[in-house]
Each structure stands twice: as structure tokens, then as C-alpha cells.
Chain A
């Protein structure tokens, strides 16, 4: 069911809410200096909160396309909207605490943040490659600015520069790929592209196009070999931005990756879970290798890092690799695993970054060595960080384990054992560097004995991140069901 532009607006309320908030922020900024420095943060919080609420209230129905088939309103889109909105809320909390950002103009920061959110909303929902490209750039361009937000800091500028050049190149390659696809099928509607491809032949150009598109998506999810920007950008960017980039755009990147490939390349027989496109290429093997290489490189390089932020950057590359496991077979179960993993990843990864922000506030350092004795100096933060790190490792009873089980499960179910083994060994490797932080925090004596105070508000936020990380490791049925439903409702 295609809805016209006006009719669509009623189903577009979350996006409108975000847009309104952006405009409001600009207005407030232009209108004059607010007396409360926290005002823009609170305003955006309210806006995103409202958007989240509206998302939650949105009726999901399969096949409802808005704006003449530009945007889908299915469970999949709603899932990602909720996810990214939630991530944005946490990042706003984080930004309010971060000393990096203190004293700078706040409004623009939140305007960029919310713009990215808007882009992610559209990215997750877009069913037309024009919309997709637009949304992708809407995510990317403010991201460049966010990465370089620390004006005086050289590293921040460097990060922004690398990000923008790399991002522009990647999107350029992608758009060239899109142009080829368009030429092969004569349409910009993903579903129709898929149908046209299913009918047509010409495997080689299709493959070239697919490879080029993969560059763009790979850049967004930071999959090897398109990941090179991410460690530098993650390290140079302000920590809340790093946290945001490692969750939000990455999730949106997965959303679009899944939606695009699923719609365009997957066999209509969803249960079979087979790629319908050029059988001469072992797509499973290709993406399997991509996944294996991504997780291995991320984990191996992370071992030698001494900067926590950079370590987490590599870890998030590795996690992209894990999540790609769910993608290699393009089956609903695999996609469900990705969705589930993104939920738990949101909590554990943002939680880890949150602690990094708190520690940096106290010590001014992001070096692992400066975490020594954190277990004594700030037990609450240290225990929380330990929980997040072990969850990232994938050890029960934390949610990360369950996420991994789902990812492993589909791969094993379809008999891709080598990938499961690689991923399992990667888990062991990852323990090595995660545990290194834990070791420094708990097993080493503090260099300074002064306690690091963690105020009540961050404590509360940390708990809100830690408790789901723990609870989802023990009872995850509702989330699993939501993830399953979201996949099932994916519009074709």
C-alpha cells in the first residue's frame, strides 16, 4: 500500500518531532543566549524522548510505504528508529556529563546530533535508493562535524578530516554502484530492482555494482577493509561522539545493509534463506570471509592498544564482524540475531564509553594505565565497566553472550562451521584485551589513592545501562520476540 505525501505525514510523526526539535534548537540559539547551559541538552532530550514515544506508538504494518514508496513503515524500521533514538538519548546524557564538551557551544552540537538521528530514522526506513543516499548523507555530514567538534584539539580536526575524505570517497563509490544498478534495472525502487534483477542475467555488472555498494555500507558499519577511518576518528572525536558513532550510525548502517541486500538480493523464499543472485559467486563465503576478517582484525589490533577509546574502537570493529555473521546467510533468523545483538550491543558499548567519559572527567586520561586501581577508587564505575566488558566478551550471564549465541546459532544451523569456530576463537582473543582493562582496574594497585567521585546522576544512567546488560543475559525472551517480529515485518 503506497501512501501519498500528505497521507504519509501522519505516519511520519517521529521524524517530524525530531525535525521540529532541530528547528526549535536553532531558534532558541538564534533568539539569544539561554541562561541554562543545559537547556539545549534538555530540549533535545525532550524531542528525542517524544520521538521515541511516537515510534513506540507507531502501528507497524507490513507493506505500508510512505511518500510514494520512498520510506517504509514496517517493524524493521520501527525497531531501528527506537534503537537509534534510545542510543541518542543515552549519548545526550553522556554529552551532558562529558567535560570535553563543557564550555563549548552546545546548541550546534545537539543540532548535529539530532540531524544524524533524523538521518538514521530515514536510513532505516528508506526503500528507494534516492532516499537511501539522501539519508546516508544526512547521517554522514553532521557526523563529520561532530567528529571535529573539539575545535582547538588537533586530533579532533584530524579525525574530522579523515572522516570526511574517507566518507566522501566511500559514498562516491557507492553512488557509482547505485548508478550501475539503476542502469541495469531502470528503477530506483529497491523492491523493483530486486524483481528486475531476479529476472535478468548480467551477473558480472551486478556483482560490480554490489561490490561498490558494499563499500558505502561497509564504511558505515566499519567492516574490514572499509574500517580504516574508524579507529582514528574514534580516538580523535569527543568521547560521546565516539560512543554515538560506534552504536547509532553503525546500527543504521546494518539496517540499510540488511534492507538493501535483503530486498534486492535475497531470494523471495525467505525461509530458504538463500541468495538469489549470481550463483557463480559464493555469497555466503564472501560475506563469511568479510565477517571473519573484520572480527579478527578488530580483535587482534585491539590487543596492542593502550588508549581505551581506541581499544573500544577496534572492539567495535570486531563486533561489526560478529554481527556480519548474521548477515552471511540472509535468513530471517540471522537478521533477527543481528537485531538482537544490536540491542545488547547498544547497552554494553554505550555503557563502556560512558565509564570512559566518567573516568576521563576525573583523571583527564584515556590511557589504560590510568585505570589502575579503579576498583578501589571508583568501585561503582569499575564494576559497571567490568560488566560491560565481560558482556562485550560474551560471557554469561551477561547479555552479550546471548547475542553471540543467536549469531552463532544461525551460522551453525546452516552448517558454516568454520565461521563459528573463527568467531569462537575471536571471543577468546577478545577476552584477552577486555580482561586487560579489568585486570588494571581490579588487580593492580591504584597509582593515586584519591577516590574518584561518581555523582548520583551518572550512577543512575550507568545502572540503567548495566541492569539491562545483566537482565537481558538472564531473561531475553521479550527482546528476542520483538527482534523476530521486526524481521518478519520487513517490507518487500
Chain B
């Protein structure tokens, strides 16, 4: 498996993530889209680390991304939960009080 293929996979993953973010109305699904993007980046990091850099900097970066994505997801889910508690829904369309 060469670098090119990995990059294509990562690009596809990125697009899927972006597509999910743009089309999904459920906040959790949107969050999953974000996770896809982050993982697309991770694939890149690891791939580049392996094929280009030959040092493990990229792989370390990927680990960091995974950790931070987890933290981010935790915070995001907590916020969604609170939103569910106050409004009874996690549809992002429902949240349009603030506008203009």
C-alpha cells in the first residue's frame, strides 16, 4: 500500500466527515463527522511519518490528536446532554434562538 492510496483514503474520509457535518442535523452525528475529519488527519500523519519523515513525529502527533479528540468529544457530548436537558432535543436546527 503506497502513500498515494493512503492519501486518497484520508481525503475520502475527510470529505465524508465534511459531508456529515454539512448534512446531518443531529448534533451527535455532526460530532462524528468531526471525528472522521480528525481521523483523516491521523491517517495522513501516520502515513507521512512512515513514508516521508522516517521519524516518529507524525505518529506522536496522531496520538495527541486522538487524545484531544477524546477530550473534545467529552466536552461536546456534555454540552449536548445539557442541551437535551433544557430543550429536549439535540437537533442543531432547533438551536436558532441566537441569530441576526
Chain A positions near chain B (C-beta within 8 angstroms) = 129-130, 133-134, 137, 140-141, 144-145, 148, 151-152, 154-155, 157-162, 164-165, 168-169, 171-173, 175-176, 178-180, 182-183, 186-188, 231-233, 235-236, 304-305, 310
Contacting pair A161 B31 (CB below 8 A) = no
The answer for the CA separation of A294 and B95 in the assembled complex, in Å, is 25
Once bound together, how far apart are the Cα atoms of A310 and B65, in whole Å? 33
Which residues of chain A have C-beta atoms less than 8 A from B60's C-beta? 130
In angstroms, Cα B92 to Cα A164, docked, is: 12
- Interface residues of B, CB < 8 Å — how many? 48
Q: Can you offer 13 A-B residue contacts whose CB atoms are under 8 A?
A: A133-B65, A133-B68, A148-B82, A157-B79, A158-B83, A159-B98, A169-B21, A172-B38, A173-B37, A180-B44, A182-B53, A232-B99, A236-B98
> How distant is the Cα of A172 from the Cα of B68 in the complex, in angstroms?
11
From known contacts A154-B97, A176-B14, A188-B61, infer whether A168 and B72 are also in contact, taking CB-CB under 8 Å: yes
Q: Given contacts A133-B65, A137-B68, are A161 and B75 in contact (CB under 8 A)?
A: no
In the complex the two chains form, what is the Cα distance from A231 to B100 in whole Å?
8
- Bitwise interface map of B from 49 to 60 toward A, beta carbon under 8 Å scored 1, else 0: 100111101101
Give A172 to B71 CA distance when docked, in angstroms.
14
The smallest beta-carbon distance between B25 and chain A, in angstroms, is: 12
- Bound Cα distance A233, B27 (Å): 17
A178 to B10, CA, bound (A): 13
CA distance A179 to B34 in the complex (A): 15
| Chain A residue, CB-CB nearest to B22 | A169
With known contacts A176-B44, A182-B58, A157–B68 Cβ distance under 8 A: no
Name A155's contact: one of B48, B82, B98 (CB within 8 Å): B98
Which of chain B's residues have a CB closer than 8 A to the CB of A175?
A: 37-38, 41, 65
Given the complex of chains A and B, what is the CA–CA distance between A162 and B31 in angstroms? 11
Distance of A70 from chain B, by nearest CB (Å):
12
B71-100 vs A: 1/0 string, CB under 8 Å? 110011011101100110000100101111
